[in-house]
């Protein structure tokens, strides 16, 4: 808009001046623009906040488990974690946010999977997992290692095991903080190629298997 002081843009007194289709136009200034907060919109914001916080709390496992899945995309491993696990959270309101840990994935990929065949919490501050690997001999490399992730919702933190050698079976023992004593934890396992890419089976460096939910229990 051109006034006595020349071209004007933005708020000018009770009006807003702007350029529209090469024309100078102005409209009445609206001091109070409503921020729509329907129940669905509010729940969507809560849902996004919940999955973002969960990705932050499980950052270590998420970085390892989704780095290969994020390669070649414009998404980060954390973004992939959020996308894959969006459906694991249900929101009915601010006081009703529920997590289905049994369907949550801490890793995603095409390696031959590893499964839990036993979970034990008898030893203090220790989670013991009996692991068995898929018999699929194709989607694997000599450098594959198993990992176990233990998550404590009360503290909002997770622990990832050291790499575990496994061909067919193995036992993993993961130490957790003393402060977790008596608290409930959730456990997952997955495989990861810790070596170079395999051209024979088209397996990238850092490629993972889909994670498997091992179960839950209270730290002894």
Domains parsed from the chain with CATH numbers: 41-218 (2.60.40.10)
* Low pLDDT (below 70) residues in the chain: 1-13, 19-22, 26, 29-36, 200-201
The helix/strand/coil state of 111 is coil
What pLDDT does 98 receive? 96
pTM above 0.85, yes or no: no
φ and ψ at residue 77, rounded to 5 degrees: -55, -35
Question: What are 96's strand-pairing partners?
Answer: 93
What pLDDT does 24 receive? 72
What pLDDT does 189 receive? 97
| Contact by Cβ (8 Å): 68, 77 | no
For residue 158, what are the CA distances in angstroms to 33, 45, 100, 141, 207?
Answer: 42, 24, 16, 27, 21
Where are the alpha helices (H) located in the chain, listed in sequence order?
39-57, 59-70, 77-85
What pLDDT does 5 receive? 44
What pLDDT does 8 receive? 60
Would the CA dihedral through 74, 78, 79, 84 be positive or negative? positive
Instruction: Report residue 67 as tokens.
Output: 């780095």
What pLDDT does 1 receive? 43
| Contact by Cβ (8 Å): 131, 146 | yes
What pLDDT does 139 receive? 84
């Amino acid at each position: 808009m051109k006034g006595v002081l020349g071209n004007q843009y933005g708020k000018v007194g009770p009006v807003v001046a702007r350029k529209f289709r090469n024309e100078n136009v102005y409209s009445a200034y609206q001091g109070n623009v409503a921020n729509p907060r329907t129940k669905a919109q509010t729940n969507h914001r809560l849902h996004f906040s919940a999955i973002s916080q969960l990705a932050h709390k499980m950052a270590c496992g998420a970085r390892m488990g989704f780095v290969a899945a994020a390669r070649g995309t414009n998404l980060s491993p954390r973004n992939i974690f959020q996308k894959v696990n969006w459906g694991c959270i249900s929101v009915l309101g601010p006081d009703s946010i529920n997590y289905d840990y049994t369907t949550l994935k801490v890793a995603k990929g095409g390696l031959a999977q590893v499964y839990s065949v036993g979970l034990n919490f008898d030893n203090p501050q220790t989670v013991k997992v009996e692991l068995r690997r898929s018999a699929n001999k194709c989607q694997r490399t000599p450098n594959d290692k198993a990992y176990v992730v233990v998550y404590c919702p009360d503290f909002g933190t997770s622990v990832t095991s050291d790499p575990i050698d496994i061909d067919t079976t193995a036992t993993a023992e993961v130490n957790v903080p003393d402060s977790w004593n008596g608290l409930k934890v959730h456990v997952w396992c997955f495989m990861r190629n810790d070596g170079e890419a395999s051209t024979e089976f088209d397996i990238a460096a850092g490629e993972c298997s889909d994670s498997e939910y091992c179960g839950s229990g209270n730290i002894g």
